[in-house]
């Protein structure tokens, strides 16, 4: 029996999320079916993070245990030949039996993309939130993020239905960057609450549209005013970029193979 780790990209538009569900198609089920086809074994996969319906991944990390003769570095090619084009395995490697895709993770990285253009863009529609009603003030949005780094109780940004024992987590970094009409919000944390990133982005957009102040934004999460956090960003703008571990187990992949930042330059 050996443990194999995969780094995976998928277009979440076509799936009900990562986790298996009774009456919907999930990424987990699709991969486990492919594993059964190549091994004739019922294999259970474990992911670094559970993405919701419609959320994408550029570097989801998964592991599974299997008793089979295929070399570990061949699983990517073998499974890709059986998976839909909406899922792609970038690399497969063998890891220690004590290594775990979720529990061995030091932190996870999510990115949210907002298209603030007045005109919709066919090439961005499935990957961003087209928020065009007002020009967003990215400086006020950035100011609202002050004080979020570190260990805090983010209960206000946790959607109902979470089974976590605590709403305390640690944000390692949070950055907001604008390139022309595109606004990217990058959050790295040791763990994410259910619906946390989309709730944060929904509230940040209110700040950017001058509907609430940065001070109100901060008061809502510091004072755990969950009843005031009603707006949440749609799923299609959110991407699980990657999961970071103490040891870099994927040797062939670099950050530009995952979700490179958009840089838009003017025409001369």
Catalytic site residues?
52
Decide: residue 113, CB within 10 A, 0-12 exposed, 13-18 middle, 19+ buried. buried
The three-class DSSP label of residue 198 is helix
Contacts of 105 (CB under 8 A, 6+ apart): 48, 61, 243, 244, 245
Segments of 81-233 assigned E as strands: 87-95, 105-115, 129-130, 150-153, 168-179, 182-189
The CA distance from 152 to 54, in Å, is 28
Check if the beta carbon of residue 157 is closer than 8 Å to that of residue 231.
Answer: no
Report the alpha-carbon distance of residue 174 to residue 110 in Å, rounded: 10
- Going by C-alpha positions, the residue among 13, 10, 32 that lies closest to residue 85 is 10
**Cα dist from 113 to 40, 53, 193, whole Å:** 40, 17, 19
Instruction: Please report how many Cα atoms fall inside a 13 Å half-sphere around the Cα of residue 192, on the Cβ side.
Output: 27
Neighbours of 117 (CB within 10 A): 16
């Amino acid at each position: 029996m050996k443990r194999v780790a995969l780094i995976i990209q998928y277009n979440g538009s076509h799936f009900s999320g990562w986790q298996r569900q009774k009456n919907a198609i999930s990424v987990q089920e699709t991969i486990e079916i492919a594993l059964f086809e190549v091994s004739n074994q019922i294999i259970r996969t474990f992911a670094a993070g559970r993405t919701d319906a419609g959320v994408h991944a550029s570097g989801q990390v998964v592991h599974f245990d299997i008793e089979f003769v295929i070399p570990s570095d061949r699983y990517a090619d073998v499974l890709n030949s059986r998976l839909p084009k909406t899922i792609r395995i970038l690399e497969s490697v063998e890891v220690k039996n004590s290594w775990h895709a979720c529990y061995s993770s030091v932190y996870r990285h999510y990115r949210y993309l907002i298209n603030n253009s007045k005109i919709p863009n066919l090439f961005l529609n499935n990957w961003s939130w087209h928020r065009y009603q007002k020009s967003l003030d990215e400086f006020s949005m950035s100011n609202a993020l002050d004080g979020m780094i570190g260990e805090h109780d983010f209960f206000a940004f946790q959607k109902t239905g979470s089974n976590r024992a605590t709403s305390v987590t640690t944000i390692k970094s949070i950055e907001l960057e604008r390139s022309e009409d595109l606004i990217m919000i990058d959050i790295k944390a040791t763990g994410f609450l259910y619906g946390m990133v989309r709730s944060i982005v929904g509230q940040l957009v209110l700040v950017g549209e001058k509907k609430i102040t940065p001070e109100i934004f901060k008061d809502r999460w510091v004072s755990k005013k969950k009843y005031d956090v009603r707006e949440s960003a749609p799923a299609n703008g959110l991407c699980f970029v990657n999961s970071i571990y103490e040891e870099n187990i994927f040797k062939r992949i670099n950050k530009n193979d995952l979700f490179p930042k958009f840089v838009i330059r003017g025409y001369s």
